[in-house]
Amino acid sequence: MSSLCSKSAPVNVVFATGAAMGHAGEYLQGVIEEGGECHAVLISIPTPELGSRAHFEPDRSGMLAGHPSWKQKSRRAFELAWESFCDLPASGRLHIESDLPVSRGMGSSTADCVAAIRAAALSLGRPLSSHQIARLAHKAEQNSDATMYGSRLVLFRHREGRVHRLLPGNTPPFDLVIVESANGARRVDTDTLQRPRYSPAEVAEFNELFERFRQASATSALAGIAGVAERSADINQRYHPMPGLLETRAIARGFGACGTAIAHSGDIQVILFAPRTLNDDLQLNLERELARAGMVIWRTLTGRERVIESASSPS
């Protein structure tokens, strides 16, 4: 199908699919002080194995129909990307599919938005950088994570939609065991979550934690990275307590894990194992111990895919 966009030469509007990964909580979330200002930041745990896909099928209806209809943020993200290149409204069907749970701290909303933005850009044949996608996703949902950077390690200002700093090293190749309460999912609305009012001592500690993470990631020191994740979770417990975290952490240590992490704006917990540690027997025994503590394994992910993907992540 052809469409004339007055912001540019005529382009062919074609069927397109955009994709984006999710994440399994954060290695670090807090604030960084720079130039006398504090910026809310996070470093996500990317999961290329899980994500969202946006399929756009153009038509002549003159309207953009989004499916499912309740995913309004991704529809808005698509429209913002489209309007960047074309004065004419988008016309067609935008279908979002995802294997990420909603409101659990795994980046489903941002993954939907990024996938939609990429679908719009691909349909119009207009490339977008990761920085441009970040700005559009932020406009669409106000609070976004660093999904658009793939498995690249990024200290991201999630309330501003911009990178604070690109970090050295590849994504840590942890095997991830994602854990949740056996009592069922506890949905968390990030947009209404009360922001922590960190003390000056906590602000100073976050700056130290970031430096520790930067050094550990540069040398692929998994224990150091896991230590930062656990300390970040400890601080979060003062503001948004995660039920069962201490029990999960004790069990993880008993099974030789590097440490644990959490979704700071969700309810999942993540056990971080060194790569190629997990096997069927270990997972079965881990599952039994977690059950005694009222927890269940939601998903197990290996680190191999994250290492491969990070080598080609956009800058």
pLDDT bin (cut points 50, 70, 90) of residue 11 is: low
203-220 mean pLDDT: 96
Name the phi and psi angles at 170, rounded to 5. -85, 165
CATH number of the 2-166 domain: 3.30.230.10
CA distance 51 to 15: 20
Q: Quick one: pLDDT at residue 73?
A: 96
* Residue among 74, 98, 75, 78 at smallest CA distance from 86: 78
Q: Quick one: pLDDT at residue 185?
A: 62
Beta bridge partners of 23: 46
User: Among 51-65, 142-156, 191-205, 212-226, which stretch is predicted with the lowest mean pLDDT?
Assistant: 191-205
Pick 12 or 115 by higher pLDDT. 115
Model confidence, pTM = 0.91
Please list, in sequence order, all residues whose beta carbon lies within 8 angstroms of the beta carbon of residue 7, skipping any fewer than 6 positions away. Answer: 85, 86, 87
User: Among 32-41, 83-92, 176-185, 306-315, which stretch is predicted with the lowest mean pLDDT?
Assistant: 306-315
Name the percent of the chain in helix, strand, coil, to the closest 5: 35, 30, 35
Q: Which amino acid would we find at residue 96?
A: I
Q: Quick one: pLDDT at residue 51?
A: 96
| CB distance 293 to 248 below 8 Å | yes
Flag whether pLDDT at 2 surpasses 60. Answer: no
Q: Which CATH superfamily is domain 175-310 in?
A: GHMP kinase, C-terminal domain (3.30.70.890)
What are the tens digits of pLDDT across the range 118-128?
Answer: 999 999 999 89
Q: Which amino acid would we find at residue 307?
A: V
90-101 mean pLDDT: 96
74-80 mean pLDDT: 97
Flag whether pLDDT at 133 surpasses 90. Answer: yes
| CB distance 69 to 111 below 8 Å | no
Flag whether pLDDT at 214 surpasses 80. Answer: yes
What are the tens digits of pLDDT across the range 246-281?
Answer: 999 999 999 999 999 999 988 999 999 999 999 999
Pick 315 or 277 by higher pLDDT. 277
What are the tens digits of pLDDT across the range 101-119?
Answer: 998 999 999 999 999 999 9
Which tokens sit at 59?
């038509």
Name the phi and psi angles at 195, rounded to 5. -75, 135
Mean pLDDT of the chain: 90
Q: What element of type H or E holds 93?
A: strand 92-98
Which tokens sit at 72?
């309004």
Q: What element of type H or E holds 261?
A: strand 259-262
Task: Please report, rounded to a whole number, the percentage of residues in the chain having pLDDT higher than 90.
Answer: 79
| CB distance 99 to 50 below 8 Å | yes
CA distance 104 to 269: 10
CA distance 298 to 270: 10
What are the tens digits of pLDDT across the range 175-200?
Answer: 999 999 988 666 665 656 678 899 99
Beta bridge partners of 20: 52
CA distance 165 to 168: 10
Calculate the CA 5 to chain-centre distance: 33
35-55 mean pLDDT: 94
Q: Quick one: pLDDT at residue 312?
A: 40
Q: How many CA atoms lie within 13 A of 29 on its CB side?
A: 25
Task: Please report, rounded to a whole number, the percentage of residues in the chain having pLDDT higher than 70.
Answer: 89
Q: Which residues of 128-138 are buried (b: 16+ CB within 10 A; e: fewer)?
A: bebebbbbbbb
Q: Checking phi first, is residue 314 left (phi over 0); if not, alpha (psi -120 to 50) or beta? A: beta
| CB distance 242 to 270 below 8 Å | no
Q: In the chain, where are the structural domains located?
A: 2-166, 175-310
